[in-house]
């Protein structure tokens, strides 16, 4: 009797084909998350003390929390994907992301410092799970971009026309409703009171936040009709504008009926929540109308993903 040596290649059990176990994947993922936390916790701490404490960028923590939740709910699908060995492209993207982070951190450029997180996550996904992993996490990575603080020059350029438009529409509606309202630029006069429409009330940041809310709604609904998704995504912009108009009108009416103290107190802070509630209800109403006019949409894969 003779023994015939067994070739690994003949059985298809080459070393490169051996997939890591689920426990190994959990350890890898845990170490990656620990490394990311150590890298970006100082950034988030600085944001919490500065930018996120302002009305204009107060949506940052919400965007971060929702993005992490979106990633977490797809963790099992990610871990079930076959592990791959990333090529030079993935390593190059990781190196570029780290350079962008270092540049932003050392030079206090928040656009680079915070924006590097999406680049870094994209590189890690390509490195460990390839394009399938990137496709799976495409929306959470896109949603994470809404957390990036907007450049001051861009905010100043766009906010001016937005505030003027919101002020003009609010004045028009209130005047034709019988209220003694006048307008000078972005200052609304109602009775003995004058109200300045600030950036937080009708600026680019609130529009940006409502746009993020609309995209999240689209992702959760998972309509199978592409035209319905496209129409709703486009209509989110005027919906956001109208939601800002409603917010300003509420503040004007509260000030007129209950005084300046009431308009600038709790109601002023609560108006930010009203903005999102109004925007959400408008999106639901518009989506319901689109569902009647456009082909019926059904959930993909039997429900939410």
Active site positions, annotated:
201, 247
Helices (H), 108-151: 110-136, 138-144
CA 212/CA 234 separation, integer angstroms: 12
Q: Record the tokens describing residue 260, joined without a space.
A: 């300046």
Half-sphere exposure of 168 (CA within 13 A, CB side): 8
CA 134/CA 139 separation, integer angstroms: 9
Residues in the chain: 305
Torsion sign across C-alpha atoms 104, 106, 109, 110 = positive
Which residue's structure tokens are 């639901």?
A: 284
Sequence-separated (6 or more) residues with CB below 8 Å from residue 83? 19, 20, 25, 128, 129
CA 42/CA 106 separation, integer angstroms: 12
Do residues 97 and 116 touch, judged by C-beta distance below 8 A? yes
Q: Could you tell me how many helices (H) and strands (E) the chain has, helices first? A: 13, 3
Radius of gyration of the chain (CA): 25
Nearest to 68 by CA among 40, 91, 98, 46: 40
Quickly count: other Cβ atoms within 10 Å of residue 281's Cβ.
Answer: 12
Do residues 126 and 93 touch, judged by C-beta distance below 8 A? yes
Nearest to 213 by CA among 236, 244, 241: 236
Strands (E), the chain: 181-184, 187-190, 193-196
């Amino acid at each position: 009797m003779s023994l015939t040596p067994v070739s690994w290649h003949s059985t298809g059990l080459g070393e490169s084909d051996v997939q890591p176990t689920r426990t190994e994947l959990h350890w890898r993922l845990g170490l990656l998350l620990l490394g990311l936390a150590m890298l970006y916790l100082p950034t988030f701490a600085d944001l919490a003390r500065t930018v996120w404490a302002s009305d204009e960028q107060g949506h940052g923590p919400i965007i971060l929390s929702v993005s992490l939740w979106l990633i977490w709910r797809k963790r099992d699908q990610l871990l079930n994907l076959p592990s791959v060995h990333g090529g030079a492209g993935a390593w190059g993207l990781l190196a570029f992301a780290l350079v962008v982070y270092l540049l932003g951190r050392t030079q206090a450029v928040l656009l680079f410092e915070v924006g590097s997180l999406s680049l870094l996550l994209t590189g890690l996904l390509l490195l460990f799970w390839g394009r399938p992993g990137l496709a799976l996490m495409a929306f959470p990575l896109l949603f994470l971009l809404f957390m990036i603080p907007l450049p001051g020059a861009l905010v100043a350029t766009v906010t001016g026309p937005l505030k003027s438009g919101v002020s003009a529409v609010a004045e028009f509606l209130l005047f034709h409703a019988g209220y003694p309202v006048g307008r000078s630029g972005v200052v609304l006069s109602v009775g003995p009171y004058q109200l300045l429409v600030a950036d937080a009330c009708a600026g680019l940041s609130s529009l940006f936040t409502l746009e993020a809310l609309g995209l999240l709604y689209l992702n959760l609904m998972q309509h199978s009709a592409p035209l319905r998704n496209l129409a709703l995504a486009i209509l989110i912009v005027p919906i956001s504008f109208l939601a800002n108009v409603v917010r300003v009108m509420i503040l004007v009416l509260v000030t007129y009926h209950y005084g300046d103290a009431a308009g600038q107190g709790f109601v002023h802070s609560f108006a930010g929540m009203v903005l999102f509630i109004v925007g959400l209800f408008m999106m639901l109403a518009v989506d319901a109308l689109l569902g009647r006019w456009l082909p019926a949409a059904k959930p993909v894969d039997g429900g939410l993903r």
